[in-house]
Amino acid sequence: MKKLMLAFVAAMFAFCAVEDVFAKVPRPEYPRPQFERSAYVNLNGVWTFDFDFGQSGTHLGRELFKSKGFSKKITVPFCPESSLSGVGYKDFIPAMWYHRKIEIPAGWIGKRIYINFGGVDYESEIYVDGQSAGYHVGGSSSFSVDITQYVKAGVTHDLVVRVKDDILGGNQPGGKQAWYFKSAGCVYTRTTGIWQTVWLEAVDQAGLASCRIVPDFDNSAFVFTPVFVSDKAKSLKITVKTSDGKLAGSVNAKAATGVAITVPLSEVRPWFPGSPHLYDIVYEVYDASSKCVDTVKSYAGLRKVSIEDGRILINNKPVYMRLVLDQGFYPDGIWTAPSDAALKRDIELSMAAGFNGARLHQKVFEERFHYWADKLGYLTWGEMSSWGCEPNNALAARNFIPEWCEVVRRDLNHPSIIVWTPYNETWKKDNMLHHHRSQNDVYELTKAIDPTRPINGSSGEFHAKTDLWTIHNYSRAPKLKEIDTPEGTVWSRDSKSWAHIPYSRYDGQPYLLDEFGGLGWIGPERMKAADNTWGYGKSIKTEEEFFDILKKEVDCILGIKRICGYCYTQLTDVEQEQNGVYYYDRVPKFDPAKFKAIFGVDPYAE
């Protein structure tokens, strides 16, 4: 008995030690799994901060960028609105400042040193020992700042981050962040400041900055296009190795930025939903003396996306889109998942309910989510947090375009992402010509960066140039049958009917209902989340009635042969919007198998 007690105490001490480590470094996993180096330092954990409601922090007499520490504490990478941050401040935050000490490892001497931010909403300026080291605009895109000239290996420095966020201005993408004081309708708690992992990284002067991976499915190869840190580096060579338990392909080449390298595969195993094979990849960069100066680990899936006869094809096979709307909100972290396991679990919950993918809605998901989607064979449509930034506003378009381009460049190597969606529901405005011009510009830029995927120019509402024709309709069956006619029409929110739009014409694109359903349900064991809780349609009284309505809607959609996919609203409740398959805390509302019996029906199955 004594031995048992001692073992129990030892186990408890070990558990507490693990919990203590996690408390010091939340979200400790490497945040960029498709471009991973060993020389890095995770900066998550307790920082100090202060709000700057008067936005006076840079003024003479304050100069907060010279701070050695602020009066309040916050746990990064969680936003101050969240409970996980330890702050939980819900009102509007026009500006705030962060501080922490950073120690540069002594072994990094002679390297280029970057500080990387997964996401900071919205404008941010980075200071090291009171000097401005870099600036970034965009709340959803990741960015890096080269701080080499401001730091020394083996020395501790003061890092300060200034944040500015104007969600009410109408000129910055904010997604579903509430422009009211209180969450209401389909907008929710805001996210300000640092909301993804921050880390330091050491890179050789001749190291690899990035590498584009294009899977060439039809020719059984991968095409790699590297970009190097410095164009001044000469006589470099790069080795690209792909492996599948054993070496599947390898090429040695002279290294040059922007010059493609093709690596044929000796054994071909495609990536496909439900069968998500991934190849491990290693990049090695050698200098003129044949010394390896940089090693980066990655992975890729051999996968092709195309369009044919009004259908979306993966690896030349039509795949029916059985998607769920995923907004990526969490009760305790808001935009930030509490753990890496939580990201994986959301995908597993979706698949358990019969969906083969998700339309990622009004939020740019972190790279670790895409990693799990890649691993689990889960299809996704990548979408920008476009609300709050209408395309008929010139300044808003100016802010939107570079941030969206950064998002596409960051995520384009993930095989699970099969569609890009820059905008959601760009509603009718007075200047529709400017509206369409902005959408067309974004379409062309997206296609220039990534010609391998179709683009859903605007999910629902008013289309301009687009590869997919998508609509939103929350009618219940049998009225849902009215969506059978896409030609020259889109849904008009003003008239509640189909309306002819002179600048948009249906031209045979794949036709999808990418928002429907939204059936509200609050079980008898649950309370309303808020006094303004809601769901689409009339209230439903029983579980039997719920599944009867749901099955009739899905059967109606499947019966419209020209439709090649749907997206059900939504995976989980989000605050007052209680129409998810799961509650906000991810507890099932009903047996997921009952959902799977409906959403798991594949009309393309042989």
CA distance 208 to 280: 17
DSSP code, position 574: B
Domain boundary among 146, 170, 203: 203
Backbone angles phi, psi at 322, to 5 degrees: -110, 75
Residues 6+ apart with CB under 8 A from 332: 82, 83, 84, 338
- Assess whether 123 and 142 both reside in one domain: yes
The β-bridge partners of 582 are 572, 588
- What 3 state SS string does 243-305 have? ECCCEEEEEEEECCCCCCEEEECCCCCCEECCEECCEEEEEEEECCCCCEEEEEEEEECCCCE
CA distance 26 to 333: 12
Classify residue 84: in a domain, yes or no. yes
CA distance 81 to 91: 8
- Assess whether 423 and 401 both reside in one domain: yes
pLDDT of residue 428: 64
Say which CATH number the domain at 229 has: 2.60.40.10
- Assess whether 89 and 114 both reside in one domain: yes
- Assess whether 12 and 66 both reside in one domain: no
- Assess whether 231 and 193 both reside in one domain: no
- Assess whether 140 and 219 both reside in one domain: no
Q: Return the ∠ at Cα 65 (arms to 60 and 69), rounded to 5°.
A: 115
Domain boundary among 185, 203, 221: 203
**Residue bearing tokens 């029916």:** 320
CB neighbours (10 Å) of residue 264? 15
Give the chain's domain count: 4
Give, in order, the Cα–Cα distances in Å from 551 to each of 114, 517, 537: 52, 10, 15
Is residue 107 classed as helix, strand or coil in its secondary structure?
helix
CA distance 7 to 469: 62
CB 204 within 8 A of CB 37: no
CB 74 within 8 A of CB 85: yes
- Assess whether 269 and 329 both reside in one domain: no
Please, where are the H alpha helices in 511-591?
Answer: 543-558
Residue 586: closest CA among 576, 567, 573? 573
Domain boundary among 300, 335, 351: 300
Classify residue 192: in a domain, yes or no. yes
Low-confidence ranges of the chain (pLDDT < 50): 1-22, 488, 490-502
Classify residue 306: in a domain, yes or no. no
Sign of torsion, CA 572 578 582 585?
Answer: positive
- Is the N-terminal amide bond of 31 cis, ω within 30° of 0? no
Say which CATH number the domain at 346 has: 3.20.20.80
Classify residue 432: in a domain, yes or no. yes
Classify residue 158: in a domain, yes or no. yes
Q: Residue 86 sits in which domain range?
A: 31-203
Residues 6+ apart with CB under 8 A from 170: 388, 389, 390, 393, 396
Classify residue 604: in a domain, yes or no. no
Which DSSP string do the residues of 142-172 spell out, in sequence order?
-EEEE-GGG--TT-EEEEEEEEE--TTSSSS
CA distance 208 to 34: 13
Classify residue 606: in a domain, yes or no. no
- Assess whether 24 and 36 both reside in one domain: no
CB 102 within 8 A of CB 114: no
- Assess whether 162 and 229 both reside in one domain: no
DSSP code, position 599: H
Residues written for the chain: 606
DSSP code, position 457: S
Q: Which helix H or strand E contains 403, and what residues bound it? A: helix 394-411
Residue 261: closest CA among 305, 304, 208, 204? 208
- Assess whether 450 and 532 both reside in one domain: yes
- Assess whether 511 and 372 both reside in one domain: yes
Backbone angles phi, psi at 492, to 5 degrees: -100, 115
CA distance 369 to 31: 10
Residue 514: closest CA among 566, 464, 477? 566
- Assess whether 92 and 240 both reside in one domain: no
What is this structure's pTM? Answer: 0.93
Classify residue 416: in a domain, yes or no. yes
CB 493 within 8 A of CB 427: yes
- What 3 state SS string does 510-521 have? CEEEEEEECECC
